[in-house]
A and B are shown apart, each in its own frame.
Chain A
């Protein structure tokens, strides 16, 4: 990542084939947990891939194997064509990782982090100062470079870790495990902007997230993982199209509705499924929110004094249809 422009190779930077991770239980039941079940994936330069899935779906297990932290039970991982399991030291030169909820060293400055981790990863001493400046600028930390990490906000700390991840002469693949968890909306946007800028420099990024909006905003490709398997993958739009999820019609002002409007709502609920009924807000599932009949219903409701709005199928709807709204609970 030392150069701002990278050659976009045709070969995938990351190739994962039939990756399986089984945790063997030591408890009395001796039941094994298949955390990742024959996962296959290719990621190319400049591509951002987001893994979405409920807690316990296998996202972090997958990413920790890609990072060389966890040995797979079977299957293969190649980074820049190098077998990560057989030759981890060489393969790890081409990847950088930001572990989930990781924190930088609180008694070091942002600049010291980038400089020393860069040197450890092989940046030549003569280039270190210049490249440190460049990495700090890339993540917008130039004005905070001399501050100790303990003086920085959560968002700035996360940016320090991203700069540390960038500080490598060879890494082309960035693995981010829930990079914005716990950040406020402004800090989250700032991390997103950094990810966007890295993509434009040809860095491939694989990230896990719980935020649908984040996946939708950042990812060229989304992989939905559930019970250790990819249950859908593609662009956010293709996942939405392929899903059986519904759009919805939101109706507000129900509490103050007159009898005529209430009768209309009651009649609608016999035809359309009701996602939820709150005192003042009902939501109906509608297969095609922009069909003429649906729009006509919306106009009727509005005429009856209710406020109504149609929403197309979102990635969140598609995601919930794929994994269920309850998640795996773990």
Chain B
């Protein structure tokens, strides 16, 4: 194991110890909110949009909440000056970002799988065994491809209060203006191109294609998400604003 990987492991264990002491709040936040969304929207939408509602709820767990939590964690660390402590440590920014992101991952993953199961039963959606095989890797690539958004908000967002405001604003924008609770085709053509710059759009396409069993299209979406992930990690690894100028 390299030095950086070992640092990530130790930083993640440290973060888990802290997180486990707030398990009730975390579970309520990560599980109840999106599952509640699933059942509420399931009641009010037309049957042909039910798959989309399921995808949207899963995207909320794997992407939106993670973006929000990562940004707010950085904001809180800036408030308590832990951020400055981290910057002065002999570690790459990747260690800090990945350990914070990993802290919520098991809960998000579990919640997403639970949502998938509940949604499939609730809406009567049948999943092929191939789709089931690829869904967990798909969740992971969606998670990884959106981490950079949380990191950018946290690092560039300025003072903690502004970070929280931006994180919430971006969360709302991504929930309602990225095509995750409705199909991409529902957007005007121009906005469909604009939506292409969001990793969330590709995440939605990936999950919808997997549930439909369209593996080739899903592969393209996964590759784009992989590209987003590489770009974020190159930026984070390069020490993007780790030191102020």
Interface residues of A (CB under 8 A from B): 64, 67-71, 88-90, 92-93, 95-105, 107-108, 112, 116-117, 119-122, 148, 161, 164, 175
Which A residues are in CB contact (< 8 Å) with B19?
Answer: 107
Of B90-98, B105-113, B177-185, the one contacting chain A is B90-98
Residue contact B18 to A107, C-beta cutoff 8 Å:
yes
- A70-B244, A107-B21, A119-B10 as given contacts; A96 in contact with B88, CB under 8 Å: yes
In angstroms, Cα B19 to Cα A103, docked, is: 17
26 pairs of residues in contact across A and B, judged by CB atoms under 8 Å: A64-B84, A67-B87, A69-B87, A69-B244, A89-B92, A90-B90, A92-B88, A92-B90, A100-B81, A101-B81, A103-B81, A104-B82, A105-B82, A107-B18, A107-B21, A107-B22, A108-B14, A108-B18, A112-B17, A116-B10, A116-B17, A117-B89, A119-B10, A120-B11, A120-B95, A148-B21
Q: Mostly helix, strand, loop or mixed at chain A's interface?
A: mixed
Residue contact B18 to A121, C-beta cutoff 8 Å:
no
* A166–chain B nearest beta-carbon distance, Å: 13
Q: Does B129 contact A (CB under 8 A)?
A: no
Residue contact A89 to B18, C-beta cutoff 8 Å:
no
* A154–chain B nearest beta-carbon distance, Å: 13
- A100-B81, A102-B82 as given contacts; A71 in contact with B244, CB under 8 Å: yes
* A145–chain B nearest beta-carbon distance, Å: 14
Q: Does B245 contact A (CB under 8 A)?
A: yes
- A70-B244, A71-B243, A119-B10 as given contacts; A103 in contact with B90, CB under 8 Å: no
- A70-B244, A92-B88 as given contacts; A108 in contact with B80, CB under 8 Å: no
Return the chain B residue nearest A73 by Cβ: B245
Which A residues are in CB contact (< 8 Å) with B90?
Answer: 89-90, 92-93, 121-122
In angstroms, Cα B245 to Cα A30, docked, is: 17
Interface size on B, residues (CB 8 A): 27
- Interface residue from A70, A108, A120 paired with B89 (Cβ < 8 Å): A120
Which B residues are in CB contact (< 8 Å) with A96?
Answer: 88
Which B residues are in CB contact (< 8 Å) with A102?
Answer: 80-82, 84-85
Which B residues are in CB contact (< 8 Å) with A105?
Answer: 14, 18, 82
Residue contact A120 to B243, C-beta cutoff 8 Å:
no
- A105-B18, A112-B17, A120-B91 as given contacts; A67 in contact with B84, CB under 8 Å: yes
Name the 8 nearest CB pairs between A and B, nearest first.
A102-B81, A116-B14, A99-B84, A97-B88, A107-B18, A92-B90, A119-B10, A103-B80
* B76–chain A nearest beta-carbon distance, Å: 10
Q: Which of B1-33 contact A (CB under 8 A)?
A: 3, 6-7, 10-11, 13-14, 17-19, 21-22
Q: Which of B21, B92, B243 has the most CB of A within 10 A?
A: B243
Which B residues are in CB contact (< 8 Å) with A148?
Answer: 21
In angstroms, Cα B81 to Cα A30, docked, is: 29
Residue contact A68 to B87, C-beta cutoff 8 Å:
yes
- Interface residue from B7, B14, B82, B243 paired with A68 (Cβ < 8 Å): B243
* A303–chain B nearest beta-carbon distance, Å: 57
Chain B 42-83 interface 0/1 with A at a Cβ cutoff of 8 Å (1 = within): 000000000000000000000000000000000000001110
In angstroms, Cα B245 to Cα A69, docked, is: 9
Return the chain B residue nearest A23 by Cβ: B245
Return the chain B residue nearest A93 by Cβ: B90
